[in-house]
Amino acid sequence: MRAEITTAEKQFSPHVLVVPVGSSISFPNHDPFNHNVFSLSEENPFDLGLYGRGETPAVAFERAGIVRVYCNVHSQMSALVVVRDNPWYAQPASDGSFTISAVPPGRYTIHAWHERSAAVSRPIVLPAGTLPKLELQLDARGYRFKPHLNKFGRPYPQQGRRY
């Protein structure tokens, strides 16, 4: 699968992207200045280096997991790539609803995750025919923002930033 996370106005869009293992994601730069997109994730580390407007480097995501993506130039930029190793996943709509199609009958464990909450897992039995209604709730009340480190493992400089 090919997907895209754009950089524009010092933001990644979309902020969260769910893809299957083996997907290639491009990171086109639409800003009039350079970006350096990187991830230090254990599953899929990468560093695209400094690149300018109109350039579109890409990365293949070969291992399942949650990949935190940042820009080494702009500390406020972050995105998440959730790489799945099976075909049964969904990215919820803005109202929280989701559909996972073509799941065969059987016993499964459903996992729900949000960057500001602890993950929730629940066993589920899917009978043949009609699927049961499922409600999951994630609790983000304990979330505290923590700035990430740059690609060298150090805090971003606070002085001398031009943009």
Q: Where are the domains of the chain?
A: 1-85, 88-143
Q: What is the pLDDT of residues 66-107, one digit of tens each?
A: 999 999 999 999 999 999 999 888 888 888 888 888 888 999
Name the DSSP class of 22: T
Question: What topology is assigned to 1-85 in CATH?
Answer: Immunoglobulin-like (2.60.40)
Say whether pLDDT at 121 is over 70. Answer: yes
User: What is the rounded CA–CA span in Å between residue 92 and residue 78?
Assistant: 19
Burial of 63 (0-12, 13-18, 19+ CB in 10 A): middle
Range 123-145 average pLDDT: 80
**pTM to 2 decimals?**
0.85
Task: Give which of 81, 71, 66, 88 is closest to 29, Cα–Cα.
Answer: 71
pLDDT in tens, 38-54: 999 999 999 999 999 99
- Does 17 have pLDDT greater than 60? yes
Per-residue confidence at 137, pLDDT binned at 50, 70, 90? confident
In the chain, the DSSP E strands lie at 2-4, 6-8, 11-13, 16-20, 23-26, 37-39, 46-47, 58-61, 65-71, 78-84, 106-114, 117-126
